[in-house]
Chains A and B, each alone.
Chain A
Amino acid sequence: MTVLVTGASGLLGGAVARALVARGADVRTLQRRPSSVDGATDVFGSVTDPDVVARAVRGVDGVVHLAAKVSLAGSPAQFHQVNVDGTRVLLDAGERAGVRRFVQVSSPSVAHLGTSLVGVPATPADPGRARGDYARTKAAAELLALGRDGGGADGAGRAGGPRVVAVRPHIVWGPGDTQLVERVVDRAARGRLPLLGHGAALIDTLYVDNAADGILAALDRLDDAPDVVGGRAYVLTNGEPRTVADLLSGMCRAAGVRAPAWRVPAGLARSAGGLVETLWRVRPGADEPPMTRFLAEQLSTAHWFDQRATRRDLGWLPAVSVDEGMARLAAHYATRRR
């Protein structure tokens, strides 16, 4: 069995590729930098390049598509090119090469319209109303991918196409995470990490190993139960919502830095986020904005999910609890400090 993992240089892509290697799969990766996954075959390039992609999917049985533009800065066109066009290039090439299984790694933000999400199931992606360029383009990409699902006794999918499932991991973190943990720890260390509001909003997160397990479960279920999961989207979380304050202080404690001790009212942070976003657009810098409206919302409103359908349909349970994950994070930082 040969599986292509796109975006394997990231935290999650790397974890997925390694897990596949560990279970004996023939793993190919596609990204611009070395994946540093032992035992995998790297293909270098962009998912937007049809030639590179055609080469990458040749002889491949399943695809796990993680490559995306995730940063907080960038023009709408850039997001669209990577996230939507890149997905289309991959789907087209995959279909031509006879790929049977396609896991679109998406994001809960594709259906997050800015309000609190409290124990909600996965709702359809909404490219028109999702918040920010990343979420909007990921929403479009998810719809695009699910539309190619080749099941469809009901005729909804495309007969003969691959079976497609979308998974939406929510706030993936763990040792080696540069997206969330490093930023939190770095800012906290410099005393520049405020709590928004009371920090009491409950948010779901997902420990990285659980995320990789969940994605592989989705890939497997495309074989075992294609009519159950095909064409559907699942939010993946640890199913253990915690308060923002808890998570941030947990990460800080694990890294050995002082937890955030000052607060910014949530409303102010949202307004400021909007302002900063605008400023950054006018004066694009090398770094990313210190606060965006999206981030302010993410850190001050609840968003946690109903995991019952996910666990039932994927036959998957997160093996690593939040507390165990924090312990592993602490061990990781302890090793780094030595």
Chain B
Amino acid sequence: MTGPTAPASTATSPSTTVPRPADTVPPGLPGLDPRYSHVLTDARGASWHYLDNGPELAARLGPDAEPVGTALAVHGNPTWSYLWRKLVTDAVDSARRGGPAWRVVAVDQLEMGLSQRTGEHRPLARRVADLGAFTDALGLTGPVVTLGHDWGGVVSLGWAVDHPDLLAGVALLNTAVHQPDDAPLPAPLRLALAGPVHRLGTRTTRAFLETTLALARPRLPHDVAQAYRLPYLTAGERDGIEGFVADIPVDGAHRSSPELDRIATGVAGLKVPAVLLWGPHDPIFSDRYLDDLTRRLPHAHVHRFADAGHLIAEDADWTPAVLGWLGSGSLSAEGSGSSGTDAFTGPRGPSASGLTSVPELPDPTASWTSSPSARLRDSEVASSLVPVETTDPVLAGSVGGGGPFVPLWARLDGRADDDAPAVLDMTTDGADGRPFTVSWRALDRQVRRIAAGLYGIGVRRGDRVSLLVEPGPTLTALVYACLRIGAVVVVADAGLGVRGLTRAQRGAWPRFVVAQRKGLAAARALGWPGVRISAEPLAPAVLRALGVTHELVDVARAGEGRPLPPEPGPHDEAAVLFTSGSTGPAKGVVYRHAELSALRDALAAHFDVGPDTGLVTGFAPFALLGPALGTRSVTPRMDVSSPRTLTARAVADAVRASDARIVFLSPAAILNVVATADALDGGDRAALARVRTFLSTGAPISAELLGSAAELMPAATPHTPYGMTECLLVTDITLDGIRDAATAPDDGVCVGRPVGGGEVLVSALDDDGAATGAPSAAPGVLGEVLVRAGHLKERYDRLWLTDLAAERDTPMGRWHRTGDVGHLDDQGRLWIEGRLAHVLRTADGPLAPVGPEQHVERVPQVRRAAVVGVGPAGVQQAVAVVETVGDAAGRARRPGLAPDDLATAVRAASPVRLAAVLVAGRMPTDVRHNSKIDRARLATWADRVLAGGRMGAP
């Protein structure tokens, strides 16, 4: 312990003369029972106000039962312990329900809240020591978990660094311990610190206080805001606010800078479990600071509450997560902060390259050399002393039976002296009219040049590199270069739109961005993070205007002949892929090298891909797989950002140019290929007849359309794999399989059997429509689909709570709840019946939408149908919303009730009773495929219309 230990009775201090001692809270503050409010005087004579549920716990647990630990919560500026009221009371409720009893002590810092106004200035170092004096006076013993918000985060971490014997964990809400040298101070703080504005804003008036309270999203209820104002009604009471703002170390010369640096460095040495909860809509503590904290605490659980801001404690429902974490048992070992055990570092794991895991600090551009994928799974705590390699099924899965890990670039390396084509690009004709071709030798050289060049400009293992580059040879080389040096590629689809992309870029917080002109302009205009690298040559004035730091061509040139850093290992992060956003806001999905290698192996094995196979990739993402699979890939003549520009002739040309045996297409591309089949001549048809495998990937497709495409490739077996961003290959079914399944009585879309070493189970829906059933392979049970595979994602990015939800009640090993619902049949085939979020909660139990939709879509007038629920969960009524053939043909009808004849036909076709039949005009669908119907939006619309509300449009 570092604080003073003298008993309070012997203390003499100048504080006896101060104007106002600490006081307890008055009754009537919303959400805060005065019984939790206490006052004590520390050894130096300072009097503190604090919230403490200890006495309440003792009263409930009996005198013999000790709390398992104490959560010490420290508020920031200009709030007070009121910020933590919910944790204080929820912890008691949790203990009452039988959970582990955690004492919560939320303290008002001196000069703040209801603690004493001593009139003294308290720089950071003194505040840290003050807190130690407080915990000494409280007689606090371990284990202690600190919580801190805003500048209280820094103070709490200072305490944590100074009390390793007591420390069991740290939790932080929107805070920072380091001001990057290259980043400007946030504008609101610059203003608050500006000379005369400072005193006027922080003390004389309530401007700073009011500005902070106004950051709440949504706005604070009036009585809650009043409670926050309570200790700061007079200018004298606001001394502490002014002092706190003045103590922000704006640069290295500030007197609190050394203490901040000490804490920042100490934090990076903390081995205790950590949680970072973040509200991204914060003008002060932006994602920049979250990025810094995740580098210092790479093992931390991180969750960004997408809609929350600075006052995250008010904005988000965060206490269940923290209480769950506290109750998980991972924190109960006293003194683990200094015990030297690997209990909480196990999952971090040594990387294959054998480098240590301590980040180089405080250099803000420093690399960190260990895997950032150190997610501590609470369920694994019991076995966390076991070296991770022996317990992690990923590795076993990725190497297919215990062989050595084969990195993604191994096949490319292996063909480094091969002059045969590796990548053919027919989207840009060469001068001689032949496809642009890159040999294996040239590709390998370009990858090495870019890799070494990126390393040369400071790209380090674990650094995120956002790639806003159109598919083609440049993107392919960039991806492999990044992977080779352990940089993490961030890939977000332009289909997310500007808002979605901005959200994705801010969420992933890349250190570098490689982009073409359009991407650079967006990054500049929208303030996307990352050092900008231009992927194409641009005029110097343009480069300056777009804030570009490097040009890729220069980077590659500088890398010529330079050595490469050590290779990353299987447990190092490799990629963050964003979901399409068609099933909710786009989420980043983190893959490590192990999972990507496993994906390569799964694809190679299932589709029998060898060096001479050759791939035609009419669906851009697959073009990237060629080098990993060690076979040539060709992008046919098309606008790669618009699959429906692909023609049948272009496919035939690509097959001929590359002698490829496998063709990957997206549903939109297939539609156009079939539509343009008349243009094929005899030679084209002969070329297509050599294709042996043909895949439709990305979205469901009808058997009819698949069959039409198959007629163009008579020797090919058509496949439609089922997967998702989180697990790109789950099951697969052939056209014959689809036709066979059509004779089965099952509801839903049959997607075949698990492939690639994957497994599928179903967690049955209960009467409330929640997937609570024990995961099982029993046939005919409707439930949420769970998948397990070596190539399954590692986790979501900075969405810890989403991770927990996706792994809730799953069997041993790495399983993922997909959010899809369906059932297995007695032949082991999986049938998808919709999204869990779209399941209707009717009085007769849960109802999955796809089955009834398929029946309704058999009505000749109906092109597409969605079955949605209206009314409250548990008594929802089924409603069919249809798009008619006429609507699709361009004569969209006005949204409204279906005419009698249509409604009668739809009702007759539906196996479930329909309260209403609506016509939607045009269906709202996803941007990427125009095929996933936005049922949630239709449900909201139907709910409104059928409650007698405005008709409008869905």
Contacts and interface: CB of A to CB of B under 8 A. Distances in A.
B878 to A, nearest CB: 11
A114 to B, nearest CB: 12
A198 B872 contact: no
Interface string B857-880: 000000000000011101111000
B947 A118 contact: yes
Contact of B948 (A239, A246, A302): A302
B897 A197 contact: no
A259 B951 CA distance: 21
Interface in B936-954: 943, 945-948, 951
B875 A308 contact: yes
Contacts of B870: 118, 202
B905 to A, nearest CB: 14
A200 B843 contact: no
A327 interface: no
A239 B951 contact: no
Contacts of A119: 871-872, 874-877
Contacts of B913: 240, 321
Interface string A49-60: 000000000000
A201 B947 contact: yes
A300 interface: yes
Nearest to A311: B843
B896 interface: yes
A302 B947 contact: yes
A249 B901 CA distance: 12
User: Max chain A CB contacts within 10 Å: which of B874, B875, B876, B896?
Assistant: B875
A79 interface: no
A200 B881 CA distance: 13
B947 A245 contact: no
Interface string B914-954: 01101000000000000000000000000101111001000
B951 A200 contact: yes
B903 interface: yes
Contact of A202 (B896, B900, B903, B915): B915
Interface residues of B, number: 22
A308 B843 contact: yes
A116 interface: yes
Interface string A188-203: 0000000001111110
A266 B874 contact: no
B868 to A, nearest CB: 13
Contacts of A198: 896-897, 945, 951
Contact of B897 (A200, A259, A304, A308): A200
A155 to B, nearest CB: 30
Nearest to A259: B900
A44 B916 CA distance: 45
A197 B951 CA distance: 9
A301 B949 CA distance: 8
A241 interface: yes
A251 B913 CA distance: 19
A306 interface: yes
Contacts of B945: 198, 200
B874 A308 contact: yes
A308 B841 CA distance: 13
Contacts of B900: 249, 259
Nearest to B951: A198
A201 to B, nearest CB: 4
A118 B874 CA distance: 12
A242 B897 CA distance: 11
A243 interface: yes
Contacts of B897: 198-200, 243, 245-246
Contacts of A245: 897
Contacts of B871: 118-119, 304
Given A199-B897, A201-B947, A240 B915 contact: yes
Nearest to B871: A119
A118 B916 contact: no
A307 interface: yes
A240 to B, nearest CB: 6
16 contacts: A118-B947, A119-B874, A119-B876, A119-B877, A200-B945, A200-B946, A239-B843, A240-B913, A241-B877, A241-B915, A242-B916, A245-B897, A266-B948, A302-B946, A308-B843, A308-B874
- CB-based closest 3 A-B pairs: A119-B871, A201-B948, A119-B875
